[in-house]
Structure 1
Amino acid sequence: SFMDPIVPVDPESGDLAREQSDYLASELDALGDALVAADGIDPSSGRPWREIVDEGSFIDHHILAVVVKNPDAFRLSGYFHKDREQLIHAGPIWDLDRTAGSIDSRARDPYRWDATNETTDTTPIFTYGWYAPMFDKTAFRALYWARWQTLLAGPLSPAAVGARMAEMRAELSEAGPRNNARWGAADWNEELDAMDAWLAARLGWVDACIDLHDDPRVCAGPHTEP
Structure 2
Amino acid sequence: VGAGGETAHLAYNSGASTQHSPLEDENDYEESDAGSAIGQLVNGTNVLAIHGLNAGATSSDFHIEPQLIITTRTGGGGQTGYFATATPGAPNGRPETLRLPQTVTFSRSPGPFTGSFQLSITGAAAGQQIRYVMASPGGPFNADVPAPTLTSTLYTGPVTVNSSRLIRAAVFNPSNGQGGEPSTAQYLLLETGSGNNTSSFTSPLPIAVIDQHGGGGYGPGEPYKTSFLHFFNRGPGDIARLNAIPDVFTRISHKVRGSSSAHFPKRAYGMKTRNDQGENKKFELGGLAKANNWVWYNPWKYDDAYVRNAFMFQLSRDMGHWASRNQPAEMFLNVNGGKLDSNDYWGIYVLTEKIESGKDRLDIESIGSSDIAGDNLTGGYILKIDRADEDETAWQTPTAQAGSEDRIVVVEPEQEDEKPEQIAYIKNYIAGFETAVLADRAGNWATRNYQKYIDVPSWIDVHMLNSFALNPDSFRLSSYFHKDRNQKLKAGPIWDFDRGLNADVDSGAQYDPRQWNGTHFDMSWWKQVWRDPEFIQGWVDRWWELRGGALSDANLNQIITTMGD
Q: TM-score range by the shorter chain?
A: 0.5 to 0.7
Higher helix share: 1
| Counterpart pick for 1:133 among 504, 528, 533 | 528
Verify the 8 A CA contact 2:433 2:450 in the aligned structure 1.
yes
Aligned-partner Cα distance in 2 for 1:88–1:48: 14
Aligned-partner Cα distance in 2 for 1:107–1:59: 25
Change (3 A) 1:131 1:169: same
Which sections of structure 2, spanning at least 5 residues, go unmatched?
1-399
Change (3 A) 1:97 1:91: same
Change (3 A) 1:19 1:79: same
Match of 1:97 in 2: 498
Structure number with bigger Rg: 2
Report the CA distance between 1:8 and its aligned residue.
Answer: 1.1
| Counterpart pick for 1:31 among 433, 439, 448 | 433
Change (3 A) 1:161 1:85: same
Which sections of structure 1, spanning at least 5 residues, go unmatched?
171-226
Change (3 A) 1:157 1:47: closer
Match of 1:205 in 2: none
What is the TM-score when the length of structure 2 is the normalising length? 0.27
Match of 1:63 in 2: 464
Change (3 A) 1:47 1:38: closer
Verify the 8 A CA contact 1:99 1:107 in the aligned structure 2.
no
Aligned-partner Cα distance in 2 for 1:123–1:106: 14
Three-state SS of the structure 1 residue aligned to 2:412 is coil
Report the CA distance between 1:155 and its aligned residue.
Answer: 0.8
| Counterpart pick for 1:53 among 444, 451, 454 | 454
Match of 2:556 in 1: 161
Higher strand share: 2
Aligned-partner Cα distance in 1 for 2:448–2:549: 34
Q: Number of residues paired by the alignment?
A: 159
Aligned-partner Cα distance in 2 for 1:107–1:89: 30
Three-state SS of the structure 2 residue aligned to 1:37 is helix
CA RMSD for the aligned pairs? 2.6
Aligned-partner Cα distance in 1 for 2:543–2:442: 24
Identify the structure with bigger relative contact order (alpha carbons < 8 Å, sequence gap 6+). Answer: 1
| Counterpart pick for 1:12 among 407, 414, 417 | 414
Report the CA distance between 1:9 and its aligned residue.
Answer: 1.1
Change (3 A) 1:93 1:106: farther
Aligned-partner Cα distance in 2 for 1:26–1:168: 43
Aligned-partner Cα distance in 1 for 2:448–2:484: 18
| Counterpart pick for 1:2 among 378, 388, 401 | 401
Verify the 8 A CA contact 1:57 1:91 in the aligned structure 2.
yes
What is the TM-score when the length of structure 1 is the normalising length? 0.64
Report the CA distance between 1:40 and its aligned residue.
Answer: 7.9
Structure 1 residues 137-168: Cα deviation after superposition (integer angstroms, max 9, x where no partner): 11110001111111111111111111111111
